[in-house]
Structure 1
């Protein structure tokens, strides 16, 4: 077995990203063969922050692929008594084959855990990126449209870790147009925006970020939002909701884009970032997207332990 890590989607080459997305879509469509490649392996599931979809997806996915799992909560490790993250990583790597971790903190901690060749490390969400969410999003779009090339996607809301991951992944497919409409002061991190722009230039796609909701693109295949209060974060501005209010996704968008699908990484707060008639309406594929967390997780686990197969 090989050892590969996924801390950022930028850890994947273009071919590897396409392979993982295609494999996730095959799992989603029921076409992939479940040959249980993780039989005999142990996956650690370590979450410091709350999770419904990602934790369940990686736990169920590891089990379906033949692994056994050990789950850790935020108060279970000696990190709380002062043990260094480096020492914790050394111990993990001598007992586990895969570590799936949500820290909601600096991803460099996970880089430290990945500085060995025995245990794969998977970022289940850091403060900067949520790469497995980005892969889930691409699996969902591929499943819906049969392709990723040439899609036109509108992202509305905070330039958070989910926004970063869709920006860093979908821009690597030719002909894609990704437009982000983020509230003033809550856009993509400059380093993420620069990396996504470099991907777009290299791969023949386009990415635009604006801080208003005027003059939306004339053609859209998908509209995507996330909740305004990102897991594990808080906003220092007490009036931040006033800044976010114009960026609510509601039915008015579908007046000009009747064929667009709606995505949401969940959990959702109806009446805030999205209205109930959109989230629960015919355009919504948000719960298909949630289900694809499992299929994307299985594809990531398979790639981390086996690489490209076939």
Structure 2
């Protein structure tokens, strides 16, 4: 914990902001640790004992907020919860000043806010403490780690996995791109509606990383161009938390990307993933989400162990 809130010069940022920031080996290590904690929730020595972890959520959350709160408690920390109207940020206090105060009193912060990812980095620099991005508009990195851990649990290893992502290139897709690009032999294809693809800078960065480890990242805008061989089909809801689409006819554009049994049966051995919450009848049919090939509920349960792995690592990396 910081000893004072009077320092003017920012420190180095620390924590989890984007999977693009982490070395491939660390991403795979965190995913593997998530699996260990999923199988044995008590396989730790309460490394956060005596720590105070802020949990700031200004956007709705079921899985992520619960996972990080429960994870902090299981690791020995005391969580300090903040809702959307609890901090003076709402009355105009700056991110820099807020960071300095929180860093003087907390050991770490888990945050989902309406602001850009840079604000979370600024909180960390000014507070000189670890900040975990619990979903920003640009990326949902803890979800990406959870997804890799789910693949490891289900397949034995994500190496060489062939994954088809169907739907909007949103913050979950960005995390998946950066995460799977760190896995040797992985092939990920994003099938996204025209105009709703993975942002080009993130796609380019993931492709560069993939080339270094022998993975591949592709994007198409027509499901007829999907790969012939797929191990995993993944989708997310069409309306990301707190966002809206400028095109009033967007549902017509998205409808061909609905995942039903007919689509899943193109790959008879493929399993199904969904980061939840789901809107049955929109992005996915209920028969798929609740069907025998769905790992969505295991994936949701894995959120807790992946949150614990992130918190454990963040506490150990604190300077």
Q: CA deviation at 1:307?
A: 4.3
Q: CA offsets per residue over residues 240-280 of structure 1, 9 Å max, x none?
A: 00000000011112323111111000000000000000000
SS at match of 2:47: coil
Q: How many corresponding residue pairs? A: 308
Q: CA deviation at 1:16?
A: 1.4
Matched, 1:86 2:75: no
SS at match of 2:125: coil
Q: CA deviation at 1:32?
A: 6.2
SS at match of 2:234: strand
Q: CA offsets per residue over residues 100-137 of structure 1, 9 Å max, x none?
A: 00014310000101115742100000010000000000
SS at match of 1:153: strand
CA contact (8 A) 1:4 1:303 kept: no
Q: Which runs of 5+ in 1 are unaligned?
A: none
Which among 170, 194, 218 is matched to residue 204 of structure 2? 194
Matched, 1:103 2:113: yes
Matched, 1:262 2:246: no
SS at match of 2:132: strand
Alignment of 1:99-138 (within 5 A): 99-116=109-126, 118-138=128-148
Q: Which residue does the alignment assign to 2:81?
A: 71
Task: Report the TM-score when normalising by structure 2.
Answer: 0.93
Q: Which residue does the alignment assign to 1:177?
A: 187
Alignment of 1:51-62 (within 5 A): 51-62=61-72
Which among 34, 45, 48 is matched to residue 35 of structure 1? 45
Q: Which residue does the alignment assign to 2:172?
A: 162
Q: CA offsets per residue over residues 86-110 of structure 1, 9 Å max, x none?
A: 1001100000011000014310000
Q: CA deviation at 1:11?
A: 2.3
CA contact (8 A) 1:93 1:118 kept: yes
Q: CA deviation at 1:173?
A: 0.8
Which among 258, 281, 300 is matched to residue 310 of structure 2? 300
CA contact (8 A) 1:155 1:224 kept: yes
CA contact (8 A) 1:153 1:177 kept: yes
SS at match of 1:169: helix
Q: Find runs of 4+ consecutive structure 1 residues off by over 6 angstroms.
A: none
Q: Which runs of 5+ in 2 are unaligned?
A: 2-12
